[in-house]
Structure formats: C-alpha cells, structure tokens
Structure 1
Amino acid sequence: MKVNVKYFGAIAESAGKSEEVLDLEKGSSVKDLKNQQIKKYQIQDADSIQIAVNQDLKNEVELKDGDEVAFLPPFAGG
C-alpha cells in the first residue's frame, strides 16, 4: 500500500525533503511508520513529534492505502 508522507519544520530539514510516497506493508500502523522514519532520517526529539493521518491527530490507527501522514514538529505556543 502507498501512503503520502509530509514533513514539516526541522523534520523536513532532517529528512532533506518535504514529502515522499512510501510503499508500506498492509497493516502497518502509525507507530510503525514513525519509528521507521525516525531511524531512517535520525530525527531528533522524537517524543515531541506529532503525527496527523488525513489531517487528524491520531497515533493509534492502522494505515490504509492512499492515507496522508504528516510529521509535525513540536508546537510553540503562548
């Protein structure tokens, strides 16, 4: 199955790209993908990264063909 992965902020800098299409095994979870990409691109501060699937912040979901997965850096607020 193919998913479109988007990277933002410092994560995009670490990955050297803002998006890519990945071919994953059926049944892959968001957690599996996050761990894979953190290792692949040596992304720092992995615990503070949020993941959005189809623009919804969910971390415990099984990915489906055609999903859009966004890796979001820590948010600053005030």
Structure 2
Amino acid sequence: MNKVLFFAHLRDAVGEEFLSVDASGKTVAELKAELAAKYNLPKMDTVMTAVNEEFAANDEVIRDGDEIAFIPPVSGG
C-alpha cells in the first residue's frame, strides 16, 4: 500500500489529507491520471510530485510502501 498526500486545492477536491492506495508498479503519471479521473482533480499536469520526500518525474515507478505527495504550484509574492 501507498500513502498519497494532497496539498492546497487538491486536498479540498479529494476531501481528505491523504489516501491509502495500491499504486505499486504504476508510474507517477499513471497514478496522477487515475486519481484525476476518480476525484475530478484539476490541472494534475502542473502538479509537482514527491516520492518519499524527493521530487519525482512522471515516469518514476512507484514501489510498495512509497509515500507520494502531490503539490500544486504556489503563487504569491
């Protein structure tokens, strides 16, 4: 199982701070697409992803036990 964390508007859209999902063997891009479809998440293509607290590319493969965080872009000044 994997813990998937959501921040900012993604947390609001999902309605939870995190989910427990089985993402083992999927790429980051596959997980993004799956969650975007299931929870109607906006603009997942602009979201940064961290796997085990390190930024990850869309082609990174998720392993069992990995913690994934989705972090939307931040604006402000």
For the aligned pair, the TM-score class normalised by the smaller chain equals 0.7 to 0.9
- Give 5+ residue unaligned stretches, structure 1: none
Q: Percent identity?
A: 32
What stretches of structure 2 of length at least 5 have no aligned partner?
Answer: none
What are the within-5 Å matches in structure 2 for residues 1-40 of structure 1? 2-24=1-23, 26-40=24-38
TM-score (norm 1): 0.87
TM-score w.r.t. the length of structure 2 is: 0.88
Which residue matches 1:68?
Answer: 67
Distance in 2 between the 1:77 and 1:58 partners?
A: 24
Q: Distance in 2 between matches of 1:51 and 1:3?
A: 14
How far the C-alpha of 1:47 sits from its partner, in A, is 2.0
Q: 2:29 corresponds to which letter in structure 1?
A: K
Equivalent runs, 1:52-67 vs 2, <5 Å = 52-59=50-57, 60-67=59-66
Which amino acid in the other structure matches residue 32 of structure 2? K
What is the root-mean-square deviation in Å for CA atoms of aligned residues?
Answer: 1.3
- What is the DSSP-based 3-state SS (H/G/I as helix, E as strand, rest coil) of the residue aligned with 1:32? helix
Q: Which of structure 1's runs of 4+ aligned residues deviate more than 6 A?
A: none
How many residues are matched? Answer: 76
